[in-house]
Amino acid sequence: MSEGLVTVGEAARLTGVSAKMIRWYEARGLLPPARRTAAGYRHYGEADIRTLHFVRRARDLGFDVEAIAELLALWSDRARPSAAVKAIAQARIAELRHRIAALEGMARSLERLSADCCGDERPDCPILDDLAAGTPAPALRTKAPRRRVSD
């Protein structure tokens, strides 16, 4: 093996990204195609490991693959405006805040339904009645619009 190159298993161990996800990221273009041995085994260098750390952290912050691709492009462009990066981060914050509000709404609905349920031996149950009605609150079904960063 060449100096400084590691197998996909070792790259997975070093970055906390599974070998399957490393291959998936490579197929989606988030990671450049790996160097291959004569036998076809993937090998990754230091730059690939840094990229995997970047992708892992971005995933930990909840960025989707499209946003990660944008962030990677900005990361590799030393002439980038930091405003473009900030806009992507702010869009993610807005998405998270929207999701938090939706989750808090769900919790309030469940708290109300639980309070209305006697929880005794009787078969009447407002929780099941509500679920059977099948009419979710509209706020729980919508997603915050994602702001796009133009080139």
Map residue 30 onto helix, strand or coil.
coil
pLDDT for position 28: 94
Quote the pLDDT of residue 24. 96
Domain locations in the chain?
Answer: 6-76, 86-140
**Rounded-to-5 percentages of helix, strand, coil across the chain:** 60, 5, 35
CATH (residue range 6-76):
1.10.1660.10
- What is the reported pLDDT for 151? 42
What pLDDT is recorded for position 8?
Answer: 95
Q: Report angle CA 26, 29, 31 to the nearest 5 degrees.
A: 50
Residue whose C-alpha is closest to residue 55's, from 33, 13, 25 = 25
pLDDT on residue 4: 83
pLDDT given for residue 148 in this prediction: 52
Q: Looking at residue 147, what is its pLDDT?
A: 52
pTM, whole model, 2 decimals? 0.74
Tokens matching residue 134: 């099948």
Residue spans of the chain under pLDDT 70: 1-3, 136-151
